[in-house]
Amino acid sequence: MTSVVVIGAGVGGIATAARLAQHGYQVTVTEKGERAGGRCDYLLKDGHHFDTGPTLFVMPQIFAQAFADLGERMEDHLDLRRVDPTYHVHFGDGSTLLLTSDLNAMQTQLEAIEPGSFGGFLRYLNEGRLHYKLAFPNLAERNLSRLPEFCSLKNLLLIFRLKLLTRHYDNMGNYFTDRRLKAAFTFQDMYMSLSPYEAPAMYSLLQYIELADGMWFPMGGMYRIVEALMDIAERSGVRFMYNAPVEQINIDGRQATGVTLADGRQMQADIVVANADLPYVYRCLLPDDGMAKRLERKRYTCSTMMFYWGVDKQYPQFGPHNLFLADNYRQSLDRILKDLTLADEPTFYMHTPVRVDPSLAPEGHDTLVVVVPVGHINDAAPQDWSAIQKRARQLVLQRLAQIGADDLDEHIKFEVSYTPRDWLSRYNLTKGSTLGLGHNLLQMGYLRPRNRHARYRNLYFVGASTHPGSGLPAVLLSARLTTERVLQDVGIPQVAPVMTPATTL
Ligand SMILES: Cc1cc2nc3c(=O)[nH]c(=O)nc-3n(C[C@H](O)[C@H](O)[C@H](O)COP(=O)(O)OP(=O)(O)OC[C@H]3O[C@@H](n4cnc5c(N)ncnc54)[C@H](O)[C@@H]3O)c2cc1C
């Protein structure tokens, strides 16, 4: 049987392992942490359940396809609830906007902010739809490992059709005049760690996806996704090892022969798949061939300062997803992405999952996750994370006080906080960049690190820093593309395993 070692049990690693096992490979996943999930993790304390990483479940059709490819139905594993309004947006001047798929409600709100803007909104959504329909099949959902595939005439035309050379924020002038609306429909670019002042207008697809396909939440929290994938992987025969960090990928000539664990154990394998963050793999697990240095010079996504608060009170003004946009939107983004620090007036996000699933906190209490984007770690001019953390906390509490939560600090029962250093040490994320390599034009498609090593032909990559990019849907696509590449190279082993049926109570 062809053996595979997968380094890392993130969502990308588990999904690839399950797919390969179902094709007849003998798969072992070795994970540095004490459980699976990677960045899609949780924290349980005093009856409060926090999703410590992802909180936004978008593009359910990609999840459903991933389950279907594994022979299962998503609805048998995840109890998804639609979240609408998607965001409670709070502008710096105190005004608000509830983003919703309810067009009548959008019309009333938008017309009150800027007369005539509802028409612009509909046209903007339509452009987002066009960008989505063009970008996904052509750029995201297929392997672009050869230059002619990427630079085909069809793709070159996409430069214009996807407005790749137009800045997203400049493009907003075609739809809205009010700067609050321009901000409310571009802030999602930060999920790609791009400022809309430099991101291509193509990223209007993000707003379309959220409002058209909806925002969802799995009851029980985002970790349910990991549990579901683990269940399928284990029943498909995948073996998981925890607290088992890989120290080195063993190489012989042009082949990877397996891995050496930090405790000295050797694992032989015909194929190695690295799910750990790709720049880290080149820097720490492979012989130096200059690639680690080249990757070092690439653009990295921002990091985040996290606050997980168990609160003994509920604030009705908090929706499930709350976004606080700085009045000086551009400056707040520049401080993060250019100055690599905390904005003077931060734009931040807060998740209140109890609004959707009351079981995630004791009755009458709240579970709050605050995500404050900050610059990634800069070794050349090290940041004082402890001072930044204190300042971020103070600014967040001040901002929340402005919407009536002025006694929040007194009601915080406990606090857990992560700084960029935690992202680095927990998951080996280079520079503590929460979303891995950036998603600017020069780091997309063919220009993003490929899912197979150029020299070691049986070493593959899967996950956020490979093609197509970061976010759970993209990582699930990456798992499909990496599996396809392995099958193309190696073929389907002769003996296919039998799926063990799910245990029923
Ligand atoms: C704060 C935050 C918020 C986010 N919000 C969202 C969101 O709302 N929606 C969304 O879709 N996405 C979101 N994301 C992005 C999403 O979480 C990631 O894109 C996705 O989880 C990455 O999965 P992965 O499999 O590529 O990598 P990872 O999750 O990083 O998994 C890699 C695994 O490799 C392990 N590893 C590392 N080094 C070694 C080693 N030497 N040996 C063994 N194991 C090793 C790590 O411990 C980890 O478990 C968010 C991420 C963060 C951090």
Instruction: Please give the span between the terminal C-alpha atoms of the chain, in angstroms, as a whole number.
Output: 33
Q: Report the separation in Å between the CA atom of 284 and the middle of ligand 1, taken as the mean of its atom positions.
A: 18
Q: Report the separation in Å between the CA atom of 275 and the middle of ligand 1, taken as the mean of its atom positions.
A: 9
pLDDT of residue 505: 30
How much is the average pLDDT of 257-268? 98
What is the crossing angle of helices 103-113 and 117-135, to 10°?
120
Structure token pair of residue 348? 């931040």
- Distance in angstroms (rounded) separating the CA atoms of residues 49 and 185: 30
User: 3-state DSSP call for residue 406?
Assistant: coil
Q: Report the separation in Å between the CA atom of 403 and the middle of ligand 1, taken as the mean of its atom positions.
A: 33
Atom of ligand 1 nearest to the CA of 245: 42
Residue 266 near residue 414, CB atoms below 8 Å: no
Phi, psi at residue 113, to the nearest 5°? -80, -45
Query: Residue 434: CB within 6 Å of ligand 1?
Result: yes
Phi, psi at residue 412, to the nearest 5°? -80, 115
Q: Tell me the pLDDT tens digit for each residue of 420-462.
A: 999 999 999 999 999 999 988 889 888 899 999 999 999 999 9
Strand pairing category for 239-241 and 26-30: parallel
Residue 7 near residue 273, CB atoms below 8 Å: yes
Neighbours of 371 (CB within 10 A): 18
pLDDT of residue 159: 86
Q: Report the separation in Å between the CA atom of 8 and the middle of ligand 1, taken as the mean of its atom positions.
A: 9
Query: Residue 11: CB within 6 Å of ligand 1?
Result: yes
Cis peptide before 468 (omega within 30 of 0): yes
Structure token pair of residue 166? 């137009």
Q: To the nearest whole number, what is the mean pLDDT of the chain? A: 95
- Distance in angstroms (rounded) separating the CA atoms of residues 371 and 378: 20
pLDDT of residue 499: 54
- Distance in angstroms (rounded) separating the CA atoms of residues 38 and 242: 12
Phi, psi at residue 359, to the nearest 5°? -75, -5
The answer to pTM > 0.75 is yes
User: 3-state DSSP call for residue 232?
Assistant: helix
Phi, psi at residue 29, to the nearest 5°? -110, 130
Residue 420 near residue 385, CB atoms below 8 Å: yes
Widest distance between CA atoms in the chain: 67
pLDDT of residue 502: 45
Atom of ligand 1 nearest to the CA of 14: 25
Residue, of 115 and 441, whose pLDDT is higher:
115
Phi, psi at residue 245, to the nearest 5°? -65, 140
Q: How confident is residue 138, by pLDDT bands cut at 50, 70 and 90?
A: confident
Strand pairing category for 48-51 and 366-374: unpaired
In this structure, which residue's CA is closest to atom 27 in ligand 1? 10
How much of the chain exceeds pLDDT 70, in percent? 97
Q: Report the separation in Å between the CA atom of 26 and the middle of ligand 1, taken as the mean of its atom positions.
A: 24
How much is the average pLDDT of 352-374? 98
Q: Report the separation in Å between the CA atom of 140 and the middle of ligand 1, taken as the mean of its atom positions.
A: 19
Asked whether the predicted pLDDT for residue 481 surpasses 90, the reply is yes
- Amino acid identity of residue 146, one-letter, is R
- Distance in angstroms (rounded) separating the CA atoms of residues 290 and 178: 48
Q: Report the separation in Å between the CA atom of 68 and the middle of ligand 1, taken as the mean of its atom positions.
A: 22
Q: Report the separation in Å between the CA atom of 227 and the middle of ligand 1, taken as the mean of its atom positions.
A: 15
Number of alpha carbons in the 13 Å side-chain half-sphere of residue 118: 14
Structure token pair of residue 81? 């609830």
Asked whether the predicted pLDDT for residue 169 surpasses 80, the reply is yes
Query: Residue 60: CB within 6 Å of ligand 1?
Result: no
Query: Residue 38: CB within 6 Å of ligand 1?
Result: yes
- Distance in angstroms (rounded) separating the CA atoms of residues 82 and 67: 19
Q: Which residues make beta-bridge pairs with 88?
A: 98, 322
Give, for ligand 1, the residue of 28, 35, 39, 303 to mutate: max count of ligand atoms closer than 8 Å to Cβ.
39
In this structure, which residue's CA is closest to atom 34 in ligand 1? 8
Query: Residue 304: CB within 6 Å of ligand 1?
Result: yes
**Positive or negative, the Cα torsion across 63, 5, 485, 236?**
negative
- Distance in angstroms (rounded) separating the CA atoms of residues 484 and 474: 15
Q: How confident is residue 152, by pLDDT bands cut at 50, 70 and 90?
A: confident
